[in-house]
């Protein structure tokens, strides 16, 4: 799995102008399921998102000391297959690495369930496969790429 993770003071996702998911302080996660992802990738990614030290200590002396659970924050998970795009060659992104919707949807749903099971107080989502409008206030700004460590070739990157 490949995720773009942003620490936010608030974030929301709308479909057809209606809010379908929103959080206050926490993490906005744009998540792509790679075509070679397995159950181990889902478990690893959920654990990483729940335990990632992306928040300052209570006294603010350490920049990256607490995870989303420790601060009582939420996670807004948004499926986004374009995060898996390869852009090294040419001008058009290559989306061959992204899983097809029939494979990606159950893996994304499993990620949502696993993040909830990891003890995150509030987990919200967008609508899988929908055209979504995502709004956020990035806190920091802090933006990270989280990629499950399973080695895999990525078309378009010469691998």
154 lies in a domain?
no
pLDDT digits (tens, 9 = 90+) for 118-142: 999 999 999 999 999 999 999 999 9
Give me the mean pLDDT over the 48-75 stretch: 97
62 lies in a domain?
yes
93 lies in a domain?
yes
CATH code of the domain in which 133 resides: 3.50.80.10
Q: Which domain holds residue 88?
A: 2-147
Give the global pTM.
0.92
Structurally, how many domains does the chain consist of? 1
157 lies in a domain?
no
Identify the residue whose tokens are 């990614």. Answer: 45
77 lies in a domain?
yes
pLDDT at 152: 52
Look at residue 88 and tell me whether its pLDDT is greater than 70: yes
Look at residue 91 and tell me whether its pLDDT is greater than 80: yes
* Residues 153, 155, 157, 159, Cα dihedral to 10°: 40
DSSP secondary structure, 81-150, as one string: GGGG-B-SSSSSPB-TTBPPHHHHHHHHHHHHHHHHHTT-SEEEE--TTS--EEEEEEEEEEEEEEE---
Look at residue 159 and tell me whether its pLDDT is greater than 50: no
């Amino acid at each position: 799995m490949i995720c773009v993770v942003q620490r936010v003071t608030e974030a929301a996702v709308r479909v057809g102008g209606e809010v379908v998911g929103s959080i206050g302080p926490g993490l906005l996660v744009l998540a792509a399921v790679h075509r070679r992802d397995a159950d181990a990738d889902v478990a690893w990614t959920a654990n990483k998102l729940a335990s990632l030290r992306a928040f300052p200590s209570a006294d603010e002396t350490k920049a990256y000391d607490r995870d989303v659970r420790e601060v009582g924050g939420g996670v807004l998970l948004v499926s986004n297959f374009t995060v898996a795009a390869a852009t090294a060659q040419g001008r058009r992104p290559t989306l061959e690495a992204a899983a097809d919707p029939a494979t990606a949807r159950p893996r994304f749903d499993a990620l949502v369930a696993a993040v909830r099971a990891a003890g995150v107080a509030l987990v919200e989502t967008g609508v899988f496969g929908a055209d979504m409008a995502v709004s956020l206030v990035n806190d920091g700004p802090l933006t990270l790429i989280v990629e499950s460590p399973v080695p895999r070739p990525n078309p378009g990157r010469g691998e």
